Amino acid sequence: MGKYLIYLSVFFGHYLYGQSVTIHYEWQRTDRIKKATLQVDADGTYLLSDNFLFNAVAFSVEGHADLNGFSLEATGDQFALEEDPHFEHVDGMKPVGLVHLAGATGQCELIISGYQGRVEVFLINSQLKQTPAWRYEQKEDVTGDCSEPVSIDQTAWRTGLPAPVYTRSFTTVKHIIVHHSAGANSAADYYEVVRAIYLYHTDVRGWSDIGYNYLIAPDGTLFKGRDPDIGEQDNVRGAHFCGKNSGTMGVCLLGTYTNVDPPQKALESLVLLIAWKLSKETLSIYGTETHAANPDLGHIAGHRDGCATECPGQRTYNLLDKIRIAVDTAASGCDIPGVTGPQLFSIYPNPATKGRIFVSPGTEAYQSLELIDARGQMVRRIVMEPDVELVELSTVDLLAGLYIIKLSGLGKAITAKVVVTPP
Per CB under 5 A, residues contacting Zn ion are 179, 303, 311
Is 263 within 8 Å of 254 (Cβ atoms)? no
Report, in Å, the least distance between residue 332 CB and Zn ion.
30
Instruction: Report the C-alpha gap between 210 and 199 in whole angstroms.
Output: 8
Report, in Å, the least distance between residue 242 CB and Zn ion.
9
Q: Which is nearer to Zn ion, 36 or 215 (CB)?
A: 215
Is 2 within 8 Å of 16 (Cβ atoms)? no
Q: Which is nearer to Zn ion, 174 or 179 (CB)?
A: 179
Q: Which is nearer to Zn ion, 195 or 303 (CB)?
A: 303
Report, in Å, the least distance between residue 304 CB and Zn ion.
8
Q: Which is nearer to Zn ion, 183 or 228 (CB)?
A: 183
Q: Which is nearer to Zn ion, 225 or 361 (CB)?
A: 225
Q: Which is nearer to Zn ion, 256 or 332 (CB)?
A: 256
For 26-87, the three-class secondary structure string (H helix, E strand, C coil) is EEECEEEEEEEEEEECCCEEEEEEEEEEEEEEEEEEECCCCHHHEEEEECCEEEECCECCCC
Region for 4 from its dihedrals, namely left if φ exceeds 0, alpha if ψ lies in -120 to 50, beta otherwise: beta
Report, in Å, the least distance between residue 42 CB and Zn ion.
35
Query: Using only C-alpha atoms, what is the Rg of the chain?
Result: 25
Report, in Å, the least distance between residue 302 CB and Zn ion.
8
Q: How far is CA 230 from the centre of its chain?
A: 26
Report, in Å, the least distance between residue 417 CB and Zn ion.
36
DSSP class of 335:
-
Is 124 within 8 Å of 204 (Cβ atoms)? yes
Instruction: Report the C-alpha gap between 277 and 273 in whole angstroms.
Output: 6
415: exposed, middle or buried (C-beta count within 10 Å: 0-12, 13-18, 19+)? middle
Q: How many CA atoms lie within 13 A of 313 on its CB side?
A: 23
Q: Which is nearer to Zn ion, 320 or 379 (CB)?
A: 320
Q: H or E element: which one contains 179? A: strand 175-180
288: exposed, middle or buried (C-beta count within 10 Å: 0-12, 13-18, 19+)? middle
Report, in Å, the least distance between residue 335 CB and Zn ion.
30
For 113-127, the three-class secondary structure string (H helix, E strand, C coil) is CCCCEEEEEEEECCC
Report, in Å, the least distance between residue 312 CB and Zn ion.
6
Report, in Å, the least distance between residue 240 CB and Zn ion.
6
Q: Which is nearer to Zn ion, 311 or 357 (CB)?
A: 311
Q: Which is nearer to Zn ion, 19 or 318 (CB)?
A: 318
